[in-house]
Amino acid sequence: MTPETIILMLGFAFGFYMAWNIGANDVANSMASAVGAKAITIRQAIFIAGILNIAGATFIGSHVTNTIRKGIISTEVMSDPHLALAGALAALLAAALWVSFATWRSLPVSTTHSIVGAMVGFGIVAGGFDMVNWGKLGAVVMSWIISPVFSMVIAFVMFKIIIRLILSRENPFEKAVRLSPYFISIAIFVVALSFLFKTPLGKKLALSMPMALVIAIAAALILGFAGRLLLKRYVPKETGSGAEEIFRRIQIGTSCYVALAQGANDVANAIGPLAVIYFLVKTGTVGAKVPVPLFLLLFGGIGIAMGIGMAGNRVMTTIGTKITTLTNTRGFAVDFSAATTVLVASKLGLPVSTTHAAVGGVMGVGIARGLEAINFRIIFQIVVYWVLTVPAAAVTSMLIFKIIRLLYH
């Protein structure tokens, strides 16, 4: 067996392991509020998220990837194929090991930040501190504050609006049915814009802002009133659960979108470095960007789906049940705030993490009931792991890189 074949096999093994971890930790966030609010069971969430992630990763995932994730290290260190191979392998394994550890502890972390930390470690050990784009790294640190605070405020305001307009009224069910077109429309509006601006397929369409707004408004109006007709027809008034049953149906839809979009966006964290290894072994060179074959996206999507199925319940349980008690109305506010935060912040050029936004949203609806409704002990643990993600992945990556270089020579 040639050394190139061994490296390629290791690349596939590490890439699949990273994809598995993305599913087990990062993507599990997408269904956490729906599970916590009992809109669906964990088994249903795993099945739905698994299917949507494979579809999102394969058909909407990016077919081109930057060789260096997020421009975090200089392209100079990638000019040497031997260094680039060892670095990509080390980064994949280091990031995956950290996310595995966090998943074992049932704590949500950003897989994007893990791969960024791992690339920083590789950049420092391969070319020194000058190889790292410290400005980009500073933006990552800012996202620890921006994403959760932004999302927390939106979730708080949205849930207060739902209380004021529906839950505090005499007949919450009737009110929820009557106002459902507005809540569905506003959610569809955000989802449509997110799809057009955030997913790789949407970016490829390259629609102008006015055209994207026209499409989003049209979809929001049509689906909002279609949703009301379906709710009136299929949700029996005598369910006894009042407005919650209405929002349960809406929330399943928003959670499905988040799962689809995360599959499309996050697959690059595992398949990007694997694509670099694949091209280096096949061609001996690599440019600033490399194409990602469809079978690699499918490979990553299957890995993500298996991660959700085998270990996704741990992080889902933490976000869905341990921070605060969720209902369907609160779950809707959480999904809406996370999607809005990611959309607005990324359009403003601010770094955001869906994981951090989801946790911030859960805190927002919890605070709406009073500070005593929040489990601050679990929040503290989560924040500590967010802060540790970049340095832990960096140090692990340095060690693995050194070991690979020793074995390689």
Q: Note the pLDDT tens digit of each residue in 91-126.
A: 999 999 999 999 999 999 988 889 889 989 988 998
Question: Look-up: residue for tokens 């939106």?
Answer: 154
Give the Cα separation of 111 and 18 in Å (integer): 9
Closest Cα to residue 320, out of 29, 109, 125? 29
Residues 354, 254: contact at Cβ < 8 Å?
A: no
Give the Cα separation of 136 and 149 in Å (integer): 20
Closest Cα to residue 22, out of 89, 90, 99, 98? 99
Residues 190, 336: contact at Cβ < 8 Å?
A: yes
Contacts 24+ apart (CB under 8 A), 79-84: 81/280, 81/284, 81/285, 81/286, 82/408, 83/126, 84/276, 84/280, 84/286
Q: What is the pLDDT confidence band of residue 69, given thresholds at 50, 70 and 90?
A: low
Q: Note the pLDDT tens digit of each residue in 310-329.
A: 998 899 889 988 999 888 89
pLDDT score at 205: 82
Handedness of CA 119, 120, 121, 125 (dihedral sign): positive
Q: Select the more confidently predicted residue: 221 or 268.
A: 221
- Which token pair is 354? 């869906």
